[in-house]
Amino acid sequence: MAIEGVDLMKAAAFIGAGLAMGFGAIGPGVGEGYAAGKACEAIGRNPEEAGLLTRTMLVGQAVSESTGIYSLVIALLLLFVV
């Protein structure tokens, strides 16, 4: 079984998808954890505002998640389209 150019392209696309997802998950992970930690601090200091803080934290996390979602879209493109 000889390895042809198409196989190499497939392999490169799969490696690229894995790298894109792996590196792309670092940023949102750090960012969302930081947001959750800060929200915990704020709730500890000000427990009666817990509902508002949780809501704001979730929206902020959903926004900061978007870079991870971009890398997911890129990975899916590499897996299924290339």
Partner 1 sequence: MDDLTSIPQFVIRLFGVNLVFNTETIFMTWIVMAALIVFGFLATRKASFMPNPVQQVAELFVKAFYDLTKDALDDRMAKNYFPLVCGLFMFLLFSNWLGVIPKLSEPTKDLNTTLGFGIMGFFIAHYAGIKKKGIKQYLSEYFQPIFFMAPLNVIGEFAKVISISFRLYGNILGGSIIILIVSHLVYGLMLPPFLMCFFGFFVGTIQAFVFTMLTVVYISVQVK
Please report, as ranges, the residues that interact with partner 1 according to CB under 8 A.
58-59, 62-63, 65-66, 69-70, 72-73, 76, 80
Q: CA Rg, the chain, in Å?
A: 19
Q: Residue 43 Cβ, how far from partner 1 at the closest point, in Å?
A: 19
Closest CA to 21 of 62, 59, 78, 63: 78
Question: Residue 10: left (phi > 0), alpha (psi -120 to 50), or beta?
Answer: alpha
C-beta of residue 32 within 8 angstroms of C-beta of residue 61: yes
Q: How far is the CB of 70 from partner 1 (least distance, A)?
A: 6
In the complex, the smallest distance separating the C-beta of residue 2 from partner 1, rounded to whole angstroms, is 27
Taking the least distance from each CB to partner 1, the nearer of 45 and 80 is 80
**Choice between 4 and 80, CB closer to partner 1:** 80
Contact 82, 13 (CB under 8 A): yes
The nearer residue to partner 1, 2 or 57, going by C-beta atoms, is 57
